[in-house]
Structure 1
Amino acid sequence: MLPLVYHPIYSQLELPANHRYPISKYRRLYQHLTEDLDLLQRSDIEIHQPVPVQADELKGLHHPDYIDALLNNTLPAAKMRRIGFPWSQQLLDRTLTSTAGTRMTVELACRYGISIHLSGGYHHAHHDFGSGFCLVNDLAFAARHALTLPGIDKVMIIDCDVHHGDGTATLLADDDHIITFSVHCEKNFPARKPDSDIDLALPRDTNTTDYLNAFSGVLHLALAQHQPDLVLYDAGVDIHQHDELGYFNVSLAGIYQRDHLVLHTCREQMIPVAAVIGGGYRHDHQTLIAPHSQLLHAAMDIYLGHRVPSLEPTFTQEKPHDGRA
Structure 2
Amino acid sequence: MLRIAHCPLYSHPLPEGHRFPMLKYELIPAQLIYEGTCTPENFFCPSALPEDLILRVHDAKYWEDLKGLRLSPKMVRRIGFPLSAPLVQREIIIAQGTLDCCHYAEEFGVAMNVAGGTHHAFTDRGEGFCLLNDVALAAQYLLDHQRAACILVIDLDVHQGNGTAAIFRDEPRVFTFSMHGKDNYPLHKEQSDLDVPLPTGTSDREYLQVLADTLGNLFENYRPDFAFYVAGVDILATDKLGHLSVSREGCRQRDEFVFKTCQRYQVPVVVTMGGGYSARIVDVVEAHCNTYRAALNLYF
Q: TM-score range by the shorter chain?
A: over 0.9
Residues 108-146 of structure 1 show CA distances to partners (whole Å, capped at 9, x for unaligned) of: 111211111111100000111100000001111111112
| Consecutive unaligned residues in structure 1, runs of 5 or more | 305-325
Distance 2:245 2:278 in 1: 15
Distance 1:145 1:56 in 2: 11
In terms of mean alpha carbon deviation, does 252-261 or 147-156 score higher?
147-156
Distance 1:57 1:237 in 2: 29
- Say whether the 8 Å CA contact 1:106–1:232 is kept in structure 2: no
**Deviation of 1:19 (Å):** 2.5
1:114-125 aligned within 5 A: 114-125=110-121
Residues 70-117 of structure 1 show CA distances to partners (whole Å, capped at 9, x for unaligned) of: 111111111101000111111011111001111111121112111111
Matching residue of 2:236? 240
Distance 2:190 2:219 in 1: 22
Q: 1:34 to 1:73 in 2, by over 3 A?
A: same
- Say whether the 8 Å CA contact 2:154–2:227 is kept in structure 1: yes
Matching residue of 1:194? 190
Matching residue of 2:200? 204
1:242-321 aligned within 5 A: 242-304=238-300
Matching residue of 1:23? 22
Secondary structure of 1:147's counterpart equals helix
Distance 1:217 1:148 in 2: 32
Matching residue of 2:181? 185
**TM superposition score normalised by structure 1:** 0.89
Matching residue of 1:89? 85
**Deviation of 1:51 (Å):** 0.6
- Say whether the 8 Å CA contact 1:200–1:215 is kept in structure 2: no
Alignment length, in residue pairs? Answer: 300
| Equivalent residue letter for 2:104 | L
- Say whether the 8 Å CA contact 2:252–2:294 is kept in structure 1: yes
**Deviation of 1:65 (Å):** 0.3
| Equivalent residue letter for 1:100 | Q
**TM superposition score normalised by structure 2:** 0.96
Determine if the alignment matches structure 1 residue 173 to structure 2 residue 169.
Answer: yes
Distance 2:281 2:80 in 1: 18
Matching residue of 1:159? 155
| Equivalent residue letter for 2:5 | V
Matching residue of 2:36? 37
**Deviation of 1:283 (Å):** 4.4
| Equivalent residue letter for 1:62 | H
Secondary structure of 2:153's counterpart equals strand
Q: Which has more radius of gyration?
A: 1
Secondary structure of 1:22's counterpart equals helix
Identity of aligned residues (%): 35
Residues 151-208 of structure 1 show CA distances to partners (whole Å, capped at 9, x for unaligned) of: 5211100000000000000001011101000010011000011110011111010000
- Say whether the 8 Å CA contact 1:163–1:185 is kept in structure 2: yes
Distance 2:200 2:291 in 1: 23
Matching residue of 1:320? none
Distance 1:180 1:274 in 2: 15
| Equivalent residue letter for 1:85 | F
| Consecutive unaligned residues in structure 2, runs of 5 or more | none
Distance 1:155 1:134 in 2: 22
